[in-house]
Structure 1
């Protein structure tokens, strides 16, 4: 063995163990309810808090659409997820464990252009409505609500599907729909320049907030540590800033009652 090679091996043995085998980062997947750039801006502080709390690197990722996110979750490509409430229940049935849920409620809001003659849900006959992803809980609650008003896709209304709730929100302004159904959280965060050009005509029933879940391969002690850190997050300066930007309000435990309430909204997956 050459002198140079001996020196190189000697340096390797002198390196700290942490540099010899850096831990693989936890993959934190967030469901794509807005654009990728918005997700990063909204949730990078949370990923940083994960990393600090667990003393372990964390990589923040998403997916191009709901369907891909659900498939990647099912295949176990994420160590942690923050997802729509019903998708959290679906993940639990696939082996994920409960960590926490946001304190805000998921609710759809019907919006139209300010100069539109549409004033209420009963005015939607013959109209085009844009919503995101048929799998989304906002889509399901809105479709159910419209049926209660006698409004059925393909019969007396036309429903068009957008890639995200954010894309759906702007469909009336782009002239692509008469009405959009989007998340009330996004509507509240919309800038005045666009919000002043639209108005609300109705809301869906509220649903539980976002669920944070951990894959079964994540050690239980890590899940417990993260759960406690999330419950404490709102009481930190970083948490106050995060909840102000995202509107999620805080984190709380996930109850059995919450999961039972969500059960009807995963039938779209379990009957396939």
Structure 2
């Protein structure tokens, strides 16, 4: 009976996550927009503890919402569809500079890409990728941008001596070598952290990209200063709770920390894909 109740609640959350209409939050509810770095099912699994904690602290219903792809998430952020966003670092910087979102907290992990191949592959270094295919999540992702730079440092250029295959999510990219969809792939350290050992045993890491600050949490400017302060305190205190300890261990996000000006400036180069003329 308990399992049936849990499944019903999970399915309801999943439907809400992918179908919640823009600007639908009422006085007694607030929307938390989640960057779609994994499937909707995984977003619910990973972030329900945060949703429940914030609901309890704020005394409001917190609705998890997302978008079908990275660019749609950027557009919905611009339109103000979300009251709060938990997003990729460069998209958070974009939201702050272009759409006036307000800083709340950042995660303690660093965003970093891992180059993966099959365990028995004869590809062992980046140099071995010459003439090969590499699957990476969407072009506007920070990991995609770091991959291009990492490959360029080795003289590897897409369309010239290597082929980059673009896919919808980092999760899709993760399994590409095992599905024979590409010779190699790049995914983030977060997904590698949550990957089961049976899959890890079939893959090997041959290289890493550089790293940038972790996910950021911001609020839409319509949220009152009082509520922003309450949200910021709740996020920074989350790691002290049993729910928070479980959440950070399960997701690999480590903790919530204050966001500094230095951190945000570090992300500026990765926002130029949106602002360059």
* TM-score, with length taken from structure 2: 0.89
Is structure 2 residue 37 aligned with structure 1 residue 33?
yes
Once residues 228 and 72 of structure 2 are traced to their aligned partners in structure 1, the CA distance between those partners, rounded to angstroms, is 25
How far residue 152 of structure 1 moved from its aligned partner, in angstroms, is 0.3
2:172 paired residue number: 167
Q: Where in structure 2 are the equivalents of 1:42-191 lying within 5 Å?
A: 42-93=46-97, 94-191=99-196
Structure 1, residues 29-77: CA drift from partner, whole Å, max 9, x if none?
0000011000000001101111111111111011111010000001100
Once residues 185 and 123 of structure 1 are traced to their aligned partners in structure 2, the CA distance between those partners, rounded to angstroms, is 25
Mind listing any 5+ residue stretches in structure 2 that lack a counterpart? 1-25
Once residues 239 and 125 of structure 1 are traced to their aligned partners in structure 2, the CA distance between those partners, rounded to angstroms, is 43
* SS of equivalent residue, structure 1 residue 152: coil
* SS of equivalent residue, structure 2 residue 94: helix
Among 208, 213, 226, the residue aligned to 1:208: 213
Structure 1, residues 175-197: CA drift from partner, whole Å, max 9, x if none?
01000000011112111121111
Q: Point out the structure with max Rg over C-alpha.
A: 1
Mapped contact 1:113–1:199 kept (Cα < 8 A)? yes
* SS of equivalent residue, structure 1 residue 264: helix
* SS of equivalent residue, structure 1 residue 205: strand
* SS of equivalent residue, structure 1 residue 207: strand
Is structure 2 residue 232 aligned with structure 1 residue 240?
no
Once residues 100 and 60 of structure 2 are traced to their aligned partners in structure 1, the CA distance between those partners, rounded to angstroms, is 22
* SS of equivalent residue, structure 1 residue 243: helix
Mapped contact 1:23–1:57 kept (Cα < 8 A)? no
Once residues 171 and 64 of structure 1 are traced to their aligned partners in structure 2, the CA distance between those partners, rounded to angstroms, is 20
* SS of equivalent residue, structure 1 residue 106: strand
1:11 paired residue number: none
Mapped contact 1:66–1:133 kept (Cα < 8 A)? yes
* SS of equivalent residue, structure 2 residue 60: coil
Once residues 198 and 135 of structure 1 are traced to their aligned partners in structure 2, the CA distance between those partners, rounded to angstroms, is 26
Once residues 106 and 199 of structure 1 are traced to their aligned partners in structure 2, the CA distance between those partners, rounded to angstroms, is 19
Among 266, 270, 275, the residue aligned to 1:270: 275
Mapped contact 1:28–1:60 kept (Cα < 8 A)? yes
Once residues 166 and 270 of structure 2 are traced to their aligned partners in structure 1, the CA distance between those partners, rounded to angstroms, is 18
* Number of positions where the alignment pairs a residue of Structure 1 with one of Structure 2: 251
Once residues 33 and 258 of structure 2 are traced to their aligned partners in structure 1, the CA distance between those partners, rounded to angstroms, is 19
Mapped contact 1:34–1:166 kept (Cα < 8 A)? yes
Q: Where in structure 2 are the equivalents of 1:212-231 lying within 5 Å?
A: 212-231=217-236
Mind listing any 5+ residue stretches in structure 1 that lack a counterpart? 1-21
